[in-house]
Structure formats: C-alpha cells, structure tokens
Amino acid sequence: MCLAVPAKLIEREGNQGIIEVMGVRREVYLNLTPEARIGDWLLVHAGFAIQIISEDDALETLKIFDELYNN
C-alpha cells in the first residue's frame, strides 16, 4: 500500500522544493508538478510531489491523519 501525504510548498528552486507538513520540513522533487507555486498544497509520495490539491482537501486529509494518530 502506498500513502501520499498532503504538504504545503514553502520554497522552490528549479525542480526542487521544500514542503512543510505537521511542522516538519522536507525536500521534494517537483518534476511531476512543474506548475507548482509557493503556497500550493501538494500530495507527496517518496520524495516527489505527485499532484497539486486544494487546501480544503489537504486540511481534511491532515485532520483524518490526526484523528487516526491520536485515537
């Protein structure tokens, strides 16, 4: 089973970016989402941003993750 995590793009340089999710920052590759801009919410899997998603979808998914983790 694969899991993609929603994260916000906070920095970008070429085909690489820095995302933040739940207070953690990671480097990701943006080769699959070349149109991504700072402030966009991305689905991230294995170090690659694979899709741009809406903020509503991202926050809903993070809320579900939080509920699962804290129960």
Q: What is the pLDDT of residue 22?
A: 86
CA distance 41 to 23: 14
> pLDDT grade, residue 69 (50/70/90)?
confident
Domains defined along the chain, listed by start: 5-69 (2.30.30.140)
Q: What is the pLDDT of residue 65?
A: 87
pLDDT digits (tens, 9 = 90+) for 39-62: 999 999 999 999 999 999 999 999
Residue 1, pLDDT above cutoff 70: no
Distance of CA 19 to the CA centre of its chain: 6
Quote the mean pLDDT of the chain. Answer: 94
CA distance 19 to 44: 9
> pLDDT grade, residue 70 (50/70/90)?
confident
